[in-house]
Structures are given as C-alpha cells and as structure tokens.
Structure 1
Amino acid sequence: MKTQGTDYAISIVLIQQLLEKLLGDEIVVRTQLPIQLGDAEPKPSIAVVMPDVLRYADRHPIASEIYLLIQIADNTVKNDCEIQGKIYARSQIDDFWVLDISERQLHVFREPSDDGYDSQMILSEDATVALSAFSTCTFCVREMLQPVATQ
C-alpha cells in the first residue's frame, strides 16, 4: 500500500470537517472504511452516508444508504475515475467525486448506469459544488484542498 502524503491526509480532514459543519446530524462521514457493494467491500477515501452511526453496528453501508463517495487522488486519478467509477456506477451510487489534489480539481460523476456515469464534470478549485442529495449545501472546491504555500 502506498504511503499517504500530507496533502491527502489534509484533504481527508478538511472534507470531513466541512461536511460535518455544513450538514451536521443529517449525515455520517466515514473515512477509509469499507462499504458493501454486492460481494465487494471497497474503502473509498470518504463515504457520506445516512445517519446514525449505530445503524452500521453489524454491517457496512450499502448503496442505498450512501449519499456521496469521494476518492482523493494524486497519481491514481485515471484509475479512480475509470475503474472505481464503473464499479460505483454499476452499484447505482448517485454521486461520486474524485478530488485530484495534484491538479487541484474535482471530477464529479452523476447519473449512474451499467456502462458508467452519464454525467461527468471537471471543476476547477474556484468552482462551487453541491452534493446531489443536499443541493442547497454548496461550497468551493478549494475548501477541500490544502492551501497553496505562499513564498
């Protein structure tokens, strides 16, 4: 397993804090924990799922309980978008994001089908985004990224 860099770690914490601040008790944010998709148990960077945490005391969240999956990537963007994207689309995950920390952009995948996602957007760090399940909750992509160091 590849060692996680500080940019990856910072993004995980920033996203978790941001979503919990904006959505509070309406969600549970799970970081690097399994979800249940058929016989597979992938571990996305972040899974935003239905509350409450004790709902998952004897099992992992299933597709119908997942609001959003986020994969944080630096050199795995192509794999995350293509391979993971197809797996999540086939499982009918409505909202899948890949945060490219190297390029500082967000790949947003929606409208799942058996062939992949029918809607795909790439947002710059200056763009705003909302979860499909919580369309009034918007924030800037930059809020999920480690600030750029100034010299």
Structure 2
Amino acid sequence: MIEAGLLIYRDVELINGLILEMSPGGTEHTYIGETLADSFRRLTQGIAWVREARPITLTQSEPEPDIAIVRLPHSLYRSHHPYPEDIYLLIEISHSTLKFDTSEKRNTYAAANIQDYWVVDVNNKQLIIYRSPINGLYKNETRLSLDSQVSPLAFPDLNIIVNEIFNR
C-alpha cells in the first residue's frame, strides 16, 4: 500500500495485520534516539548496521523501531527490509508510547523471536530489557536504573551505561 501511494504523507506501521498511526516523537525522544543511534554506529562500525525508524519485516507486521541493529552487509536491505534472523537488537524510545511498546510491540517482537529488545523509558529514566523469547513471550524482563550497565546479547564486549542514554 505504501509503494502504491495509498498511505503517502502518513506515519503508519503494520502491527499484527493492523495499520496503526505512529505517534510523533517529541524533542527528547528525538534527541535520545539520535544520540543512542550515533553511539551504536561508533561501537558497531564494521560489525553491524544501525537503522533509525526504518521498517523491519515480521509475520503480519512491519514495525518501524526507533533503532534496529542489524547484520551486515547493508546491501542485503536493497531488496527487502531486515527479517528477524537479521536483527541483533531492537530499541524503542518511549515517551508517550510506553504501554504500547511494553505490551503490543513486546509481544510482536517476542512472537518473531527477536532475542534482544530494549525500551528506553524516558519518563522514568530507566531501560527495560526483554530477552529469551519462548512461545511468543519474553522469559526475561530486566529494568535498569541510571547507575547500571548493559551489553547487547550479540555484542557482549560493548558496555552501554544507562545514565549516558539519558544524559549525553
């Protein structure tokens, strides 16, 4: 529908077969997303590709996560969006969408077997991490405060300091 021009000038994403309007990102959402994506670009240069607010292809869904860290080479995505097996990490920056990102999107990503899904909770200044999807549900949920550090599953040598997500 997008390629046919039916949804031109509309920010939408396909979630579980439904076309949903996307909430516009505010200034803090945008700032955190840009700085976090920039950090990941530096940290994963030559080992992964960082996409910002671009579609990924799942069964019955084509969401646009704020950040997707995907496998190289980048040329893979000339003919299709990344599939679950291409995805190392998905990140949503949640200011006004926390409930949706920690329910509908979480379940959609778990059903697609996305191994590592992070939600940046802007209002509560915490990072919520979902891992180990089993039968469409994440087995592990961890909430990290500002004084915590975390490494993406695919890149255990990379340390992300939660405080730097919010205070860079």
Task: Note whether the superposition's TM-score is higher than 0.5.
Answer: yes
* Cα separation, 1, equivalents of 2:100 and 2:46: 33
* Cα separation, 1, equivalents of 2:72 and 2:92: 21
Residue equivalent to 1:123: 144
* Structure 1 range deviating more: 54-63 or 70-79: 70-79
Regions of 4+ moved over 6 Å:
none
Classify the secondary structure of the residue corresponding to 1:18.
helix
Residue equivalent to 2:51: 30
> Percent same amino acid among aligned pairs?
32
TM-score of the superposed pair, with normalisation by structure 1:
0.92
Indicate yes or no: 2:157 matched with 1:136: yes
Indicate yes or no: 2:95 matched with 1:110: no
Contact 1:7 1:146 survives alignment (8 Å): no
Pick aligned residue for 2:35 from 4, 7, 14: 14
Cα displacement string for residues 91-149 of structure 1 (whole angstroms, at most 9, x for unaligned residues): 000000000111110000000022410000000122101100111111201222245xx
Residue equivalent to 2:115: 94
Higher normalized contact order (CA 8 Å, seq sep 6+, divided by chain length)? 1
Classify the secondary structure of the residue corresponding to 2:62.
coil
Structure 1 gaps of 5+ residues are none
After superposition, residues 28-107 of structure 1 pair within 5 angstroms as 28-107=49-128
Contact 1:33 1:44 survives alignment (8 Å): yes
Q: Aligned partner of 2:104: which letter?
A: I
Cα displacement string for residues 15-73 of structure 1 (whole angstroms, at most 9, x for unaligned residues): 11111111211111101000000232111111100012111001000000000000100
Considering fraction of residues, name the structure with more helix: 1
Classify the secondary structure of the residue corresponding to 1:71.
strand
Contact 1:10 1:146 survives alignment (8 Å): no
Size of the alignment, in residue pairs?
147
- What value does the CA root-mean-square deviation take over the aligned residues? 1.2
